[in-house]
Amino acid sequence: GTLTNWQTVSKSIQRLKAISAQMETGFDGLTKKERLGMEREHAKLHASLNGIAEMGGTPDLLFVIDTNKEALAVAEANKLGIPVIGILDTNSAPEGIDYPIPGNDDAARAIGLYCDLIARSALDGMAAQMGSAGVDIGELVDAPVEEILDVVETSKEVEEETPESVGTKPTLFSEAPSEKDDLKKITGVGPKLEEAMNKLGIYQFAQVASWTNDEIMWVDDSLSVKGRIERDDWVGQVSELIKG
């Protein structure tokens, strides 16, 4: 009843957050019995609601791996008009599933793959929407970019010891050229990612426009951007920037 009773569930989530906040600030003014009761209530709410505490509302889409085991969730989604993506094994029926995907729903590796793909798709969609709205995604994603910079610095230190494992190294500048392009004009590239690209020796649109598939793989691996170059079509973007 999580979806169909969301109004009630959301009140319980608010209660969980309120208790959590009070526990962080302390139990001043409460008796030992009151503190114990609050701790027990928090433990109960945390166990049942912590996984959905930040959901914010009913979802726009439901992704289900075992449609037989999660039949109630599918039924609730159907009742509320929420589209359902479902992994259908040989013992699963397609009724109630808007987007059926044939597949194994009980192998650990398969389940891990499904979850990874759906999570990446959601993040890619959010990034594309934010990028089209003019949001500088590179500015928002601070932690991953810091990891990118660490990877770049480390790769330079061990370059002679560690062979290139992915793709082909493109033509790079050994030092900053006199004419540099604003790489932040590429969707998804913020100041820190631009700095990481500069550290690799990438300064101009012409460099990016000339990359082959193997060179894209090398840069993607070196920056640890996990396929962003192809997803956001950097080569196509800079080609248009050069023309315009």
CATH of the domain at 35: 1.10.287
Are residues 176 and 203 both part of a single domain?
yes
Are residues 149 and 208 both part of a single domain?
yes
Are residues 149 and 203 both part of a single domain?
yes
Longest pairwise C-alpha distance within the chain? 73
Are residues 186 and 226 both part of a single domain?
yes
Are residues 182 and 219 both part of a single domain?
yes
CB 215, CB 168: distance < 8 Å: yes
Question: Is 0.85 topped by the overall pTM?
Answer: no
Are residues 178 and 190 both part of a single domain?
yes
Q: What is the pLDDT of residue 153?
A: 52
For residues 38-42, give the mean pLDDT: 90
Show the tokens assigned to 124: 């890619």
Q: Does position 224 have pLDDT exceeding 80, yes or no?
A: yes
CATH number for the domain including 80?
3.40.50.10490
Report how far residue 2's alpha carbon sits from residue 56's, in angstroms, rounded to the nearest whole number.
Answer: 13
Are residues 193 and 103 both part of a single domain?
no
**In terms of DSSP bridges, do strands 84-88 and 99-102 run parallel, antiparallel, or are they unpaired?**
parallel
Question: Would you say residue 57 lies in a domain?
Answer: no
For residues 5-16, give the mean pLDDT: 87
What's the domain range around 38? 6-52
Are residues 155 and 228 both part of a single domain?
yes
Angle, CA 183 vertex, CA 208 and CA 199 arms, to 5°: 80
Q: What is the pLDDT of residue 101?
A: 93
Q: Does position 93 have pLDDT exceeding 70, yes or no?
A: yes
Q: What is the pLDDT of residue 141?
A: 53
Are residues 160 and 128 both part of a single domain?
no
For residues 169-177, give the mean pLDDT: 92
Highest average pLDDT, of 134-138, 197-201, 233-237, comes from 197-201
Report how far residue 185's alpha carbon sits from residue 3's, in angstroms, rounded to the nearest whole number.
Answer: 41
234 Cβ contact partners less than 8 Å away, ≥ 6 residues apart: 186, 208, 211, 216, 228
For residues 131-159, give the mean pLDDT: 55
Report how far residue 63's alpha carbon sits from residue 61's, in angstroms, rounded to the nearest whole number.
Answer: 7
Are residues 102 and 188 both part of a single domain?
no
154 Cβ contact partners less than 8 Å away, ≥ 6 residues apart: none
Portion of the chain with pLDDT greater than 90, in percent: 34
